[in-house]
Amino acid sequence: MAKVPAAAVAAGGLIGGYGVARWTKKRQLGGVVLAAAGATAARQWRRQAGGKAAGALTVAYVAAFAGSHPLAKKVGAWPSVFGVAGAVALASWAVSDRRA
Protein backbone atom coordinates (compact mmCIF):
# COMPACT_ATOMS: atom_id res chain seq x y z
CA MET A 1 0.00 0.00 0.00
CA ALA A 2 1.35 3.44 -0.93
CA LYS A 3 2.19 5.86 1.86
CA VAL A 4 0.11 9.01 2.04
CA PRO A 5 2.38 12.08 2.29
CA ALA A 6 2.21 13.97 5.59
CA ALA A 7 1.35 17.11 3.62
CA ALA A 8 -1.84 15.46 2.38
CA VAL A 9 -2.69 14.14 5.84
CA ALA A 10 -2.27 17.57 7.43
CA ALA A 11 -4.19 19.43 4.72
CA GLY A 12 -6.88 16.76 4.78
CA GLY A 13 -7.20 17.12 8.54
CA LEU A 14 -7.80 20.85 8.31
CA ILE A 15 -10.25 20.54 5.41
CA GLY A 16 -11.92 17.40 6.70
CA GLY A 17 -12.20 18.70 10.24
CA TYR A 18 -13.98 21.82 9.08
CA GLY A 19 -16.19 19.87 6.69
CA VAL A 20 -17.26 17.37 9.33
CA ALA A 21 -17.97 20.13 11.84
CA ARG A 22 -19.98 22.11 9.33
CA TRP A 23 -22.00 19.26 7.84
CA THR A 24 -22.77 17.45 11.09
CA LYS A 25 -23.20 20.68 13.07
CA LYS A 26 -21.08 19.02 15.77
CA ARG A 27 -17.85 20.92 16.30
CA GLN A 28 -16.50 18.14 18.52
CA LEU A 29 -16.59 15.66 15.64
CA GLY A 30 -14.64 18.09 13.50
CA GLY A 31 -12.16 18.41 16.34
CA VAL A 32 -11.70 14.64 16.43
CA VAL A 33 -10.88 14.61 12.70
CA LEU A 34 -8.53 17.58 13.11
CA ALA A 35 -6.72 15.99 16.07
CA ALA A 36 -6.44 12.52 14.53
CA ALA A 37 -4.98 13.88 11.30
CA GLY A 38 -2.64 16.18 13.23
CA ALA A 39 -1.35 13.32 15.36
CA THR A 40 -0.85 11.12 12.30
CA ALA A 41 1.01 13.87 10.44
CA ALA A 42 3.15 14.63 13.51
CA ARG A 43 4.26 10.98 13.71
CA GLN A 44 5.24 11.07 10.04
CA TRP A 45 7.04 14.41 10.47
CA ARG A 46 9.03 13.05 13.40
CA ARG A 47 9.99 9.89 11.50
CA GLN A 48 10.94 11.73 8.31
CA ALA A 49 12.48 14.98 9.57
CA GLY A 50 13.17 14.63 13.30
CA GLY A 51 11.73 16.02 16.50
CA LYS A 52 12.47 19.72 16.02
CA ALA A 53 10.93 19.79 12.56
CA ALA A 54 7.93 17.81 13.80
CA GLY A 55 7.46 20.28 16.64
CA ALA A 56 7.65 23.27 14.31
CA LEU A 57 5.22 21.72 11.82
CA THR A 58 2.81 20.81 14.62
CA VAL A 59 2.88 24.42 15.82
CA ALA A 60 2.21 25.51 12.23
CA TYR A 61 -0.75 23.09 12.03
CA VAL A 62 -2.31 24.42 15.21
CA ALA A 63 -1.59 28.03 14.21
CA ALA A 64 -3.23 27.41 10.83
CA PHE A 65 -6.34 26.10 12.55
CA ALA A 66 -6.46 29.09 14.89
CA GLY A 67 -5.60 31.57 12.14
CA SER A 68 -8.30 30.28 9.82
CA HIS A 69 -10.98 31.70 12.10
CA PRO A 70 -10.12 35.42 11.82
CA LEU A 71 -9.14 34.94 8.18
CA ALA A 72 -12.60 33.48 7.48
CA LYS A 73 -14.17 36.79 8.53
CA LYS A 74 -12.25 38.49 5.74
CA VAL A 75 -12.36 35.98 2.87
CA GLY A 76 -15.03 33.44 3.83
CA ALA A 77 -14.90 30.07 5.56
CA TRP A 78 -13.95 27.71 2.74
CA PRO A 79 -11.35 30.00 1.14
CA SER A 80 -9.78 30.43 4.57
CA VAL A 81 -9.67 26.69 5.24
CA PHE A 82 -8.24 25.93 1.80
CA GLY A 83 -5.67 28.70 2.17
CA VAL A 84 -4.32 27.55 5.53
CA ALA A 85 -4.44 23.90 4.45
CA GLY A 86 -2.36 24.77 1.41
CA ALA A 87 0.14 26.68 3.53
CA VAL A 88 0.55 23.76 5.94
CA ALA A 89 0.85 21.29 3.07
CA LEU A 90 3.56 23.40 1.45
CA ALA A 91 5.48 23.70 4.73
CA SER A 92 5.15 19.96 5.32
CA TRP A 93 6.42 19.14 1.87
CA ALA A 94 9.34 21.57 2.15
CA VAL A 95 10.47 20.39 5.59
CA SER A 96 9.55 16.72 5.60
CA ASP A 97 7.97 15.07 2.57
CA ARG A 98 10.48 16.00 -0.09
CA ARG A 99 13.15 14.17 1.92
CA ALA A 100 11.17 10.93 2.03
Residues 95 and 31: their CA atoms lie apart, in Å, by 25
Residue 71: its pLDDT value, please?
97
Query: Between residues 3 and 66, which one has the greater pLDDT?
Result: 66
pLDDT tens string 20-71: 999 999 999 999 999 999 999 999 999 999 999 999 999 999 999 999 999 9
Instruction: Record the pTM.
Output: 0.94
pLDDT, mean of residues 73-86: 98
Q: What single letter denotes the amino acid at residue 12?
A: G
DSSP string, 28-81: HHHHHHHHHHHHHHHHHHHHHH-HHHHHHHHHHHHHHHHHHHHHHHHH-HHHHH
Sign of CA dihedral 48, 12, 92, 36: negative
Angstrom distances, CA of residue 22 to CA of 25, 43, 85: 5, 27, 16
- What is the pLDDT at residue 99? 74
